[in-house]
Amino acid sequence: MLVRGDYNDQDILAYFTRPTRTINHARILEIRTGAKYKTVRVATDIELDEFLFAWPSIDPETGLNQRGDELLIKAREAMIAAVHIFNSAGLTFRTELFIVTCIIAWTYLLHACFRREGIDYRYKKGDGTVLKTRQGADCYWELGKCLRHSRCPTSKGAAKNLEFLLELRHEIEHRSTNRVDDAVSAKLQACCLNFNDAIKSLFGTQYGLERRLPIALQFVTFDEDQRSALKRNSTLPAHIEAFIDAFEHGLTEEEYADPAYRYRVAFVPISANRASSADVSIEFIKGDTEEGRKINRVLLKEVDRRRYTATQVWKLMQAEGYPHFNQQAHTTLWQELDAKNVARGYGREGDYKGTWVWYDRWVERVRAHCQEQSERYR
């Protein structure tokens, strides 16, 4: 542009400045006088014309440059695609598809952050040269490597959440899975919120996804009987259950309760006191308010409602068609799985000394065991 002579400095700045990259007038002076970049070849007339023809190459919603901000654009689009896939009606493989796609989104987001911070996120050989693929392209860090870097900007809770999803993805890649939606939905929701918080804090609030992803509408509500039926008909594969137990067994109570690791909300019907708020379908209540404490008491009561004795568990399995699953089989199973370790969340000490009660989670695990060993117990 300087050589062609048809542009003043202000015009040139307009072509190269954008929200994610601002350029000072002094840079143009340095190029004009040769103080910097003397070794850079001057673009040909054809190259300049191609540049002008393709300009501005700007995403109309965010103002991101489709070439210079490619990583950030891909990160946003991958996460948007992941949520759309999960919310699509009729899909039965949606959790697995969401996890694979959201991992791509997080990888691009951290690559964009590392590039801005000047961190070289390419694999190197022992001699310091860049490792190449068979096709000659640079080998970039995968998400796990990015999370382990000392300057990774994610919070501890968000990192734990992604580590969980990475391990679950390995299970998805190497083994077939059944319906795992209910078992990991809190982690998926946390992953979405963590991503949105990260992209806004790292690059700007204008890149948040709230406007692109509105509230999903529901056709159904669930009472207690419906929830129980869903649990019976949605069997978690044994290897997925074992992975989740092993992963969460290594977490501290603080890590497990961190909303960035798993995010749970309660949907309760509300009646508006004002006409202006009558159409609000979701209301966020702070946990430290009186209303929040009331809701929390109700939720705790709901969670702790169903308890089973050992006899009830094995008799329930017999009623479901496994007559040879008896007291001895039940005892052997809980001993092998160390199921009375309270950290596993299968049950707790009963109201009377020396007694033990089991939760729905243990019933689901026993049911999965019986289904896997159906020939043995039928």
Report d(CA 61, CA 139) in Å as an integer. 31
pTM: 0.62
Bridge partners of 318, per DSSP, are: none
Work out the average pLDDT over 216-222: 55
Tens of pLDDT along 19-63? Answer: 777 888 899 999 999 999 889 999 999 999 988 887 877 776 777
Structure tokens at 280: 């609000």
Please tell me the predicted confidence (pLDDT) of residue 320.
92
Two tokens, residue 39: 């070794």
- In this predicted structure, the answer to whether residue 78 has a pLDDT above a threshold of 50 is yes
Closest CA to 242 of 373, 339, 159, 99: 339
pLDDT tens digits along 292-318: 667 666 554 444 447 889 999 999 999
Q: What is the mean pLDDT of the chain?
A: 82
pLDDT tens-digit map of 276-287: 544 544 555 665
pLDDT-derived band at 181, boundaries 50, 70, 90: low
Confidence of residue 197 (pLDDT cuts 50, 70, 90): very high
For residue 57 the two structure tokens come to 């190459």
Give pLDDT, residue 350.
75
- Select the more confidently predicted residue: 72 or 255: 72
Q: How many CB atoms lie within 10 A of CB 112?
A: 22
pLDDT in tens, 94-122: 888 999 999 999 999 999 999 999 999 99
CA 8, CA 1: separation in Å to the nearest integer? 9
Answer whether residue 143 shows pLDDT above 90.
yes
Nearest one of 293, 271, 290, 273 to 281, comparing CA atoms = 271
Contact between 103 and 173 under an 8 Å Cβ cutoff? The reply is no
The Cα–Cα gap between 227 and 314 comes to 21
pLDDT over 80 at 237, yes or no: no
Residue 156 makes CB contacts below 8 A (sequence gap 6+) with: 255, 258, 260
**Model confidence over 342-362: pLDDT tens digits?**
878 888 887 666 789 998 889
Ranking 159-163, 256-260, 284-288 by mean pLDDT, the lowest is 284-288
For residue 233, what pLDDT is reported?
A: 47
Residue-level pLDDT at 293: 66
3-state secondary structure the chain: CCCCCCCCHHHHHHHHCECCECCCHHHHHHHHHCCCCCCCCCCCHHHHHHHHHHCCCECCCCCCECCCCHHHHHHHHHHHHHHHHHHCCCCCCHHHHHHHHHHHHHHHHHHHHHHHHCCCCECECCCCCECECCCCCECECCHHHHHHCCCCCCCHHHHHHHHHHHHHHHHHHHCCCCCCHHHHHHHHHHHHHHHHHHHHHHHCHHHCCCCCCCCCCCCCCCCHHHHHHHHHHCCCCHHHHHHHHHHHHCCCHHHHHCCCCCCCCCCCCCCCCCHHHCCCCCCCCCCCCHHHHHHHHHHHHHHCCCCECHHHHHHHHHHCCCCCCCHHHHHHHHHHCCCCCHHHCCEEECCCCCCEEECHHHHHHHHHHHHHCHHHHC
Domain ranges of the chain: 9-54, 70-249, 265-303, 310-377
Sign of the alpha-carbon torsion through 258, 260, 264, 270: positive
pLDDT of 226: 46
Q: Please, are residues 109 and 85 in contact by the beta-carbon 8 Å criterion?
A: no
Q: How far apart are the first and last CA of the chain?
A: 81
Q: What is the largest CA-CA distance in the chain?
A: 91
Predicted local distance difference test score (pLDDT) of residue 96: 87
- pLDDT at position 68 over 60: yes
Per cent of the chain over pLDDT 90 is 42
